[in-house]
Amino acid sequence: MSRIFEVAIDGGPYALAAGRDGAMWVTLVHRGAIARVGAGGDLEVYPVAEGSKPSIITAGPDGALWFTRAGDDRIGRISTDGLQTDYQLPSGSAPFGITAGPDGALWFTAMGTGVIGRVDVDGDLSEQAAPGGMPSSIITGPDNALWFTLNQANAIGRLHRGQLEVRTLPTPKAGPVGIAQTHDDAVWFTEVLADKVGRIPLNEAIQELDLPGKPHAVVADPSGGVWVSLWGADQIAHVSGDGEVDTIDLPAGSEPHGLAIGPDGALWVALEAGFVMRLPTA
């Protein structure tokens, strides 16, 4: 990675995802908007709706960016030229996590109703499972199953071909939030209330590692291990596959949340205090 830069964006940058256009797309949870940050730092902002609270965003199989609207119970879609559509969910759904699934559809969590839902690229919605427990982040795992955190149930869920499994965490009241698939065929997740990061090798016991600072989001490092945002410590942590931890200090009060890897392998961070940062990783 050649250089570090940051882009100031009003409205609470919360999560980000790389688009097929080479840009980073960012949810602005307090502003009700989506931002596009080009590789050179150029900025465009697309209003969504007041009170919509765009939360998590992901690249869809159709080349568009799909995102949850926790404030007005909708799933949003924005093309790389800025055209938007949205799909209404039942009142009180409070969708949060979203990911591209192995079946060419988008899968999302509904925190308010405890549901795992599915929306295909034509906008057809369906409820797939209702584990309760405030499902939060969701990803497609290395086994092509859907893995998700159950924040209030203190558990990790797995959904595959309609079969739901729930695995309780070793630490009580851990508050799992972020989750990611990694290159070691494992699933990693954060425990924001327990100051830990967890790892699940497929079909093996859950492992936990102390990581003070209210770990929030987690993303796989292409070079190995994971990056974790430490929301309460204003830091980014790198955790290697064998548990070694290194941290990067960010400005005080920056509130790091979402993480994403750019097309060139660079690490991008959404800081709710009002900017997006691209960090050197080597």
* Element at 56 (helix H, strand E): strand 54-59
- CB atoms under 10 Å from CB of 85, counted, come to 12
Find out whether 139 and 147 touch, Cβ atoms under 8 Å: yes
Q: Which residues contact 225 (CB under 8 A, 6 or more apart)?
A: 182, 238, 239, 240, 241
30 given a catalytic annotation: no
Which phi and psi (to 5°) does residue 137 adopt? -85, 155
Q: For tokens 């990694």, name the residue.
A: 182
- CB atoms under 10 Å from CB of 244, counted, come to 10
Rounded CA-CA distance 88/93 in Å is 10
HSE value, Cβ hemisphere, 13 Å, CA-based, for 126: 7
Indicate which residue of 30, 160, 238, 257 is catalytic: 257
Query: Catalytic site residues?
Result: 257
